[in-house]
């Protein structure tokens, strides 16, 4: 009988492969046969870990957001609220993230199909969206912004939309410019421009 630790590692491998595919192609990127082949496993072995493709999709969404939250906490820890927001915007709307969708936030790939997801997957997606919203809102609140919830909703929508459009753009220079404009716009709207200017002056 397969021991629990080996089974857990195998399940993790399946989720990692599914997460990479979903970040790039959305849920359409998850075909069980192809996924198991990429993971170096048999098609039939899938059902030792998941009861259905729908369960895999839901668990993959949860897995991606858990990974993303850990990455962002590590990236932003130990920083003052406004500085962490500025760095979050710079990171999220960077060309580095644009060119590596398999490693980034799933929201640009999944937002367009979220309304059509099965119930469990949609619930996981909503939890992920709320966690991202809370990450932004909490830092805005710590910065003294009275309308932190509304500002966070607006900021999250622009983050997702800007990255989605930039990834879809066939012109590299124009795609990079889209992100630069959105970074500037968000920092202005969230009252972070003075912080950025002060940081630039210290570095010059």
- Rounded average pLDDT over 8-20: 92
Domain that holds residue 129: 53-203
Q: What tokens appear for 58 in the block?
A: 């839901």
**Is the pLDDT assigned to residue 70 strictly greater than 90?**
no
pLDDT for 1 equals 42
pLDDT in tens, 145-182: 999 999 999 999 999 999 999 999 999 999 999 999 99
Is residue 37 in some structural domain? no
In the chain, the number of structural domains is 1
Report how far apart the first and last C-alpha atoms of the chain are (Å, whole number): 63
pTM to 2 decimals? 0.82
CB atoms within 10 A of CB 109: 25
SS3 55: helix
Is residue 22 in some structural domain? no
Is residue 144 in some structural domain? yes
Is residue 163 in some structural domain? yes
Is residue 198 in some structural domain? yes
Is residue 43 in some structural domain? no
**Is the pLDDT assigned to residue 101 strictly greater than 50?**
yes
Give the model's confidence band at 203: pLDDT under 50 very low, under 70 low, under 90 confident, else very high.
very low
**What CATH number is given to the structural domain containing 60?**
1.10.357.10
């Amino acid at each position: 009988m397969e021991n629990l630790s080996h089974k857990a590692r195998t399940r993790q491998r399946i989720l990692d492969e599914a997460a990479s595919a979903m970040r790039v192609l959305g849920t359409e990127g998850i075909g069980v046969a192809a996924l198991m082949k990429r993971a170096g496993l048999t098609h039939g072995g899938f059902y030792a870990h998941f009861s259905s493709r729908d369960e895999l999709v839901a668990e993959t969404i949860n897995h991606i957001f858990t990974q993303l939250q850990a990455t962002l906490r590590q990236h932003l820890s130990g920083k003052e609220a406004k500085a962490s927001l500025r760095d979050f915007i710079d990171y999220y709307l960077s060309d580095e993230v644009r060119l590596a969708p398999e490693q980034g936030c799933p929201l640009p790939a999944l937002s367009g199909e979220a309304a059509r997801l099965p119930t469990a997957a949609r619930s996981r997606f909503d939890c992920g969206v709320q966690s991202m919203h809370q990450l932004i809102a909490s830092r805005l609140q710590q910065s003294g912004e009275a309308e932190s919830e509304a500002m966070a909703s607006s900021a999250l929508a622009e983050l997702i939309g800007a990255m989605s459009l930039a990834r879809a753009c066939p012109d590299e220079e124009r795609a990079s410019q889209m992100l630069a404009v959105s970074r500037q716009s968000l920092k202005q709207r969230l009252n972070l421009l003075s912080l950025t200017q002060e940081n630039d002056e210290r570095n010059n």
